[in-house]
Structure 1
Amino acid sequence: MGRYVLRRLLQLIPVFLGTTFIIYTLVWAIPVDPFAGKCGQRPCPPAYVAAMRAKFNLDDNLFVQYVKYLGRLFTGDFGQTFSGTDVSTLIANAYPITVRLAVVALVIEALVGMTAGVLTGLRKNGFADNLVLVATLMLISLPVFVTGYILRGLFGTPRGTSFVDLIVPGIVLGSLSMAYVSRLTRTSIAENRRADFVRTAIAKGLPTSRVVGVHLLRNSVIPVITFLGTDLGALMGGAIVTEGVFNIRGIGGLVFTNIQQQQGVVVTGVVTLLVLVYLVMSLVVDLLYAVLDPRIRYE
């Protein structure tokens, strides 16, 4: 296990470098004047522009800029906005809200989606199965902002950002993934019902609850865990629409605002953090495989 973890950590290094370089290139290679409108209706003085370009290394080629940015990033310095505000401060204020929203959405999609998937997988082609299939098809077909406006009209906007306050926005954010989790669980349960280990457990006279909860579900949940693990990063990155509908000041709103204001350093810092979340969750999911299925060995 130790060698596997070390090998996976080493594999994350080129992935991190490659993705962050692509992000940095996409943000800073855009042929737009980053200082347009920063001095009101008049153009910024040449001295100000020269000082800012030197501060953000904009006169260097893109690769040198990236290396310098990476060097600061490894020391925990996400840089500063053009107005001098630390990006780390902006992230520290907004990120916890989005993390709570994403966790609420993940819990809802896992509980509801897996429960519906297990019930329909055990009773395939029944009334409940057809009902869930129609419901998930509707969730997949509806855009997230439509679901958000409907639920906001019914329940209003949250008064705070606690876990309880974020339940309705969490349902909206996790609605699409909940449909996928339900269908993925249903398919996996239906396939594993005919597996030898399930027939053996039934032949031993084990209770149905143990056959389903321990043997069948434990082996069927592996693809679902993979989806849920990688979906956490997707939920945080895709929270822009949901946060906008419910007026939640999280990481999505921070990215959207700074894209409009051409604050590339903020966008780069936030997206880099999301990349780290993806990589860490991917590693955690891989390690969970051995816990869920003892047949999997890493060494």
Structure 2
Amino acid sequence: MGRYVLRRLLQMVPVFLGTTFGIYLLVWALPGDPFAGKCGERDCPDEFVAAMNEKYNLDDSIFVQYGKYLWNLLRGDFGETFSQVPVSELIANSYPVTLRLALVALAIEALIGVTAGVVTGLRRRGFLDSLVLVSTLFLISIPVFVTGYVLQLVLGLEWGIINPTVSSKAGFGELIVPGFVLASLSMAYVARLTRASIAETRRADYVRTAVAKGLPQSRVVGVHMLRNAALPVITFLGTDLGAFMGGAIVTEGIFNIPGIGGLIFKSIQAKEGATVTGLVVLLVLVYLVMNLLVDLLYGVLDPRIRYD
């Protein structure tokens, strides 16, 4: 196991370098003036442009720029915005909120999606199976912003069950409805994926053997079926955490959540290259770590998998 983890960590290094270099290249090496509009309606003075070029190493080649950025990144320095605000400070303010939202969405997606998939996979072609299939198709067909606005209007403005917008503290209780909105699309896919996986696993020889031995249904489902059927579902859930953190722009905008999604959107609008680069690099790290954890979970769920 230790050698496998070390090998995977070493494999993550070129992936991290390649993705972050591509991000840096797209943000800083594209044609255009990165300082356009920074001085109001008039053009920026040459002294300001020269100072900014020196500060962000824009006079160097793209490889030298990336090397200096990577060196600063290894020391925990994500750079500064054009208004001299540390990017690490912006991340520290918005990252915990988006992380809580992503965890709530992941929990809702796993709980509802897996439960619905298991129940319908065991009882196919029944009323409940048809209900879940129609409901998931309905969720897949509706854009996330429509689901968010409908729940905000009905639960917040009409019935008064929730606050239409989230407070600045953004506690877990306030994030349940936004988390459901964020997870709605993925929850439908998880339910369908779990249903198909359970339906395929229940025909396996080891499941028929367990039933023939007289084992309780709860043990047959929980130990013999679910552990093997969960492998593709775990893969989907693992990658979804990074997707939730980077793709929550619409949900955070609807419920006024001060998270990473809104920060990325504002940074793109303001052409804050340092902020966009720092945030996307952070999301790359989340994806890499989650992929590693998913691979390690394979060996826990399926004893036939060994990391030699």
Could you say which TM-score interval applies, normalised by the shorter chain?
A: over 0.9
What SS does structure 2 have at the residue aligned with 1:295?
A: coil
- For structure 2, the 5+ residue unaligned runs are 157-163
- How many residues get paired? 299
What SS does structure 2 have at the residue aligned with 1:43?
A: coil
Code of the residue aligned with 1:48 in structure 2: it is: F
- Tell which deviates more after alignment, 31-40 or 66-75: 31-40
Code of the residue aligned with 2:174 in structure 1: it is: D
Aligned to 1:220: 229
Please give the alpha-carbon distance, in whole angstroms, between the structure 2 residues aligned to 1:30 and 1:218: 47
Aligned to 1:91: 91
- Tell which deviates more after alignment, 99-108 or 158-167: 158-167
Aligned to 2:80: 80
Please give the alpha-carbon distance, in whole angstroms, between the structure 2 residues aligned to 1:113 and 1:32: 45
1:208 aligns with 2:217: yes
Aligned to 1:191: 200
Code of the residue aligned with 1:128 in structure 2: it is: L
TM (norm. structure 2) is: 0.95
For 1:158-196, what per-residue CA distance to the aligned partner results, in whole angstroms no more than 9, with x for missing partners? 443111100010011000100010001000000000111
1:11 aligns with 2:20: no
Please give the alpha-carbon distance, in whole angstroms, between the structure 1 residues aligned to 2:76 and 2:178: 31
For 1:191-242, what per-residue CA distance to the aligned partner results, in whole angstroms no more than 9, with x for missing partners? 0001111111111111111111111111111110111011100111100111
For 1:40-95, what per-residue CA distance to the aligned partner results, in whole angstroms no more than 9, with x for missing partners? 22221111110111000111121111111111101110000011100000000000
What is the root-mean-square deviation of aligned Cα atoms in Å? 0.9
Question: Is the CA contact 1:289–1:296 (under 8 Å) kept in the aligned structure 2?
Answer: yes
Please give the alpha-carbon distance, in whole angstroms, between the structure 2 residues aligned to 1:207 and 1:78: 55
TM (norm. structure 1) is: 0.98
1:26-41 aligned at under 5 Å gives the runs 26-41=26-41
The match for 2:183 among 174, 179, 182 is: 174
Please give the alpha-carbon distance, in whole angstroms, between the structure 2 residues aligned to 1:125 and 1:61: 62
Code of the residue aligned with 1:38 in structure 2: it is: K
1:232 aligns with 2:232: no
| Deviation for aligned residue 1:126 | 1.1
- For structure 1, the 5+ residue unaligned runs are none
TM superposition outliers: structure 1 runs of 4+ over 4 Å: none
Code of the residue aligned with 2:239 in structure 1: it is: T
Question: Is the CA contact 2:166–2:255 (under 8 Å) kept in the aligned structure 1?
Answer: no
Please give the alpha-carbon distance, in whole angstroms, between the structure 2 residues aligned to 1:22 and 1:197: 47
For 1:98-118, what per-residue CA distance to the aligned partner results, in whole angstroms no more than 9, with x for missing partners? 000000000000000000000
